[in-house]
Amino acid sequence: MLESIREQLNHPSDLYGETLNNDLITMELCYFPSLCDQQLIKDGLLVPFTYRFDPVEFERMINSNPAFSKADQPELWTELLLKGTLLFKIHDQVYRYGVQKKWQDKPDTNQIEASLQGPQSALTEDLDMNISLCRLRYNEPTLCVEQHIIGQASKTRITVLYDKNLVNSNVLRLLYSRLPHVTLKILRAAGQLSQELSERKHRLFPTILQTERPDRIATMIERGKIALLMDGSRFALILPVRLFDFMHAMDDDYDVYWMSKFLILLRYFAMCLSVTLPSLYIAFVSYNPEVLRVQLTLSIAGSRVVVPYPSFIEVFVMMFMIEALYEASLRLPRYIGSTATTVGGLILGQAIQQAGLVSSIMIIVTSAVAISNFVIPNNGFGNSIRFIKYIFVFISIFYGLIGVVICFVALIIYWCNLRSFGQPYLALFIPKNEAAAHHHREER
């Protein structure tokens, strides 16, 4: 067995293979020490084989312990070894022993989707632990857990979770029709899988929600949605989703009713502000100053006296600086990033206004847009909003306020036309028992 495996794996130096003899029987074993739990091997196999060897007890242990099983297919030996399995051979019979090393033994903490009142535990990169976290919060016998393997080289485990009594069967069929067409060689992150499962590659807005929170997964499964967990990624995918799911934060479920409704309304207002404010500034300054009150028009004109460029130039300058600061805060080390962006934002903003390159009103507009963008709870949806506002700015340069209004109407039409696994992206009415209603329609 050892020579055959070494030959198939091209004699790797990190493969451990040895022949052990306890004066009664001989055992060949091989495994990758970097992929296996050494303590499990010692306690579960080496000690019973050497110090406390009893032929009857040893055979009973191999036949009764679910961690042991026969490996009668030589073509699968290398695949088993690469997944962290130990193979051993006794009396011409090869057995497998599942001893895959677990790098994490406790849940992670929230790093992207912060919550003030909700649970602080988050998914980890260990798939088995993530399933355990989801079952802990959605402990129903109707919860279905189905495993798939995706990635020709990585052979990554994907788990599909849904409630069989609540799930929309049309969405489930559509998901299962798309999973076999995912032909990635190496599946590295949940975002890759999200791109492959989406029906349109060049869309402007995400149609699958990524989350790191087990409580959000449980809530979504209760609403009849499907969750995909992936080995090696601390993010899960939720589908199908609507625009309103991206604007929902988990604290909305834990706060008092009217407060949560007020915060949701505030987010929609901030989203509209983030999309339209730079383009409205160009429209009011260059095309339609008569829309504003006279005092405000004079104030804006007074602040732009020293600015030598048209309004859209200062908008592009400030938006570029904000985007650069945002990207720098992500790429720099954590301890330097916050200091660098704070110093850059304060000093650069004041210096650029004193130099006469932008007006003081434009500084206010830029700050309001940046803050409004950060109010959106989902990072992927927030990035789409960041991109959309450039389209509004470009249109407003040529058509002013009329262009902004037409562009906003076009955005709503685009949302109405968008689908997430066949479900409308901008369905205004979302009943809580929507999945039950779907099953009721199917029964009829």
Q: What is the pLDDT of residue 439?
A: 56
- pLDDT of 433 higher than 70: no
66 lies in the same domain as 150: no
- 76 — pLDDT class (breaks 50, 70, 90): confident
Q: What is the pLDDT of residue 236?
A: 93
Are residues 425 and 247 in contact, defined by beta-carbon separation less than 8 angstroms? no
Task: Tell me if 197 is assigned to some domain.
Answer: yes
Average pLDDT of the residues in 169-182: 89
Average pLDDT of the residues in 110-139: 86
**194 closest CA partner among 161, 147, 241:** 241
Q: What is the pLDDT of residue 82?
A: 86
Are residues 13 and 106 in contact, defined by beta-carbon separation less than 8 angstroms? no
4 lies in the same domain as 36: yes
* 136 to 131, 209, 218, 342: CA distances (angstroms): 8, 21, 9, 41
Round to whole Å and give the CA distance between 429 and 353. 46
218 lies in the same domain as 357: no
Q: What is the pLDDT of residue 238?
A: 93
274 lies in the same domain as 412: yes
**219 closest CA partner among 113, 109, 69, 331:** 113
Q: What is the pLDDT of residue 235?
A: 92
Beta strands in 5-67 (DSSP E): 16-21, 26-31
Average pLDDT of the residues in 40-52: 85
**15 closest CA partner among 78, 66, 60, 69:** 78
201 lies in the same domain as 261: no
Task: Tell me if 109 is assigned to some domain.
Answer: no
- Could you say which DSSP state residue 36 is in? B
Task: Tell me if 433 is assigned to some domain.
Answer: no
Q: In this predicted structure, which of 258-267, 313-322, 392-401 has the lowest mean pLDDT?
A: 313-322
Round to whole Å and give the CA distance between 401 and 409. 13
- 273 — pLDDT class (breaks 50, 70, 90): very high
Are residues 22 and 41 in contact, defined by beta-carbon separation less than 8 angstroms? no
85 lies in the same domain as 174: no
Please give the residue range of the domain that contains residue 363.
256-420
134 lies in the same domain as 172: yes
17 lies in the same domain as 45: yes
- pLDDT over 90, % of the chain: 21
Q: What is the pLDDT of residue 394?
A: 92
Q: State both tokens at 392.
A: 């509004």
- pLDDT of 436 higher than 70: no
Are residues 307 and 314 in contact, defined by beta-carbon separation less than 8 angstroms? yes
Instruction: Give the number of domains in the chain.
Output: 3
Average pLDDT of the residues in 326-345: 73
Q: State both tokens at 444.
A: 């009829």
263 lies in the same domain as 412: yes
Q: What is the pLDDT of residue 358?
A: 82
Alpha-carbon dihedral of residues 149, 150, 154, 160, nearest 10 degrees?
-60
Task: Tell me if 392 is assigned to some domain.
Answer: yes
Round to whole Å and give the CA distance between 264 and 342. 28
85 lies in the same domain as 223: no
Average pLDDT of the residues in 392-412: 92
Q: What is the pLDDT of residue 411?
A: 93
- pLDDT of 280 higher than 70: yes
Task: Tell me if 441 is assigned to some domain.
Answer: no
268 lies in the same domain as 416: yes
Task: Tell me if 321 is assigned to some domain.
Answer: yes
Are residues 228 and 237 in contact, defined by beta-carbon separation less than 8 angstroms? yes
286 lies in the same domain as 232: no
Task: Tell me if 360 is assigned to some domain.
Answer: yes
More confident: 268 or 2: 268
Task: Tell me if 121 is assigned to some domain.
Answer: no
Are residues 59 and 68 in contact, defined by beta-carbon separation less than 8 angstroms? no
- 442 — pLDDT class (breaks 50, 70, 90): low
